[in-house]
Amino acid sequence: MLKDLFHYSFLQHAVISAILASIACGIIGTIILEKKLIMMSGGIAHTAFGGIGLGYFLGIEPMIGALFFSILAALAIPQIQAKTGTSSEVIMGMFWSLGMALGILFIALMPGYPPDLPSYLFGDILTVTSFDIRVMVLLNLIILAIISSLYQQYKTLLFDEEFATVIGLPVSLLKNLLFVLIALTVVILIRVVGIILIIALLTVPPSIAKIFTSNLKKIMLLSSCLGIVFCLLGLWCSYSLQIPSGAAIIILSVTSYLMLSLFLKIKKPGKISISKES
């Protein structure tokens, strides 16, 4: 594969996308895990499928449609929950199903042959295009710029939301902005691991990183590095064994977490405690 990397542009795109996806995943995945927004992320990810279907129906780039639907869901879910008082889990479940249903409907209304949807549902890192790379770079820059400039505010929000409110931080604005960043990360990950497998890549690397450190910055950095390792190993398995790349990446990452947890459990009996950052 290393020799082929210098000859085939699709492999170069795959490696670049793996790195870009891992950076976004390490940063936003850490916040998702700390803030317990896993279901919210899943709801946004599945809603994005409606945008993919709309993109194909209108004849525009599906990733643009996914970005639009993801941001719309990220902003609409908390607003509907606040105004109606409905449980956020219920609203997320509705958006989860609605996005998938709209995607199916738009694709069914298309004339001619249906598009290749498995790559969006389950990921295919070997099909990433130069346009996808440009979108990933732009979204990564936005994520890095916002998190780096608002790091202290988000750190306070993560570990004590009440204190953040008392000291006058714009908690509502910060949360809505975070939801938008989750939407951007979802779009970055769709082509790498697919809509259905996104949650695993958002949560597994930060979960492993938290075993070794409780420092927020270090968790983000280590999560990004772990994501790169899992994505590149999954890419190698996919290319060498001719198996789906998204599945390979997730199987490797989840298996690594389970084996590490089991090893630490055997080595040091008792519950593995993961403390918060002081």
CATH architecture for segment(s) 2-267: Orthogonal Bundle (1.10)
Q: How far is CA 36 from the centre of its chain?
A: 14
Amino acid at 84: T
Residue 226 and residue 213 in contact, taking contact as beta carbons nearer than 8 Å: no
The predicted pLDDT at position 276 comes to 46
Across all residues in the chain, what is the average pLDDT?
Answer: 87
Residue 179 and residue 77 in contact, taking contact as beta carbons nearer than 8 Å: yes
The predicted pLDDT at position 265 comes to 84
The predicted pLDDT at position 7 comes to 67
Residues 111-147 have pLDDT tens digits of 877 677 788 888 888 888 888 899 999 999 999 999 9
Mean pLDDT score, 207-220: 93
The predicted pLDDT at position 20 comes to 92
What one-character-per-residue DSSP string does 6-48 give?
TT-HHHHHHHHHHHHHHHHHHHHHHHHHHHT-HHHHHHHHHHH
Burial annotation 235-269 (CB, 10 A radius, 16+ → b, else e) = bebbbeeeebbbbbbbbbbbebbeeeeeeeeeeee
Residue 40 and residue 77 in contact, taking contact as beta carbons nearer than 8 Å: yes
Residue 201 and residue 29 in contact, taking contact as beta carbons nearer than 8 Å: yes
Sign of CA dihedral 134, 23, 278, 39: positive
Does residue 198 have a pLDDT over 80?
Answer: yes
Does residue 158 have a pLDDT over 60?
Answer: yes
Residue 11 and residue 1 in contact, taking contact as beta carbons nearer than 8 Å: yes
The predicted pLDDT at position 14 comes to 87
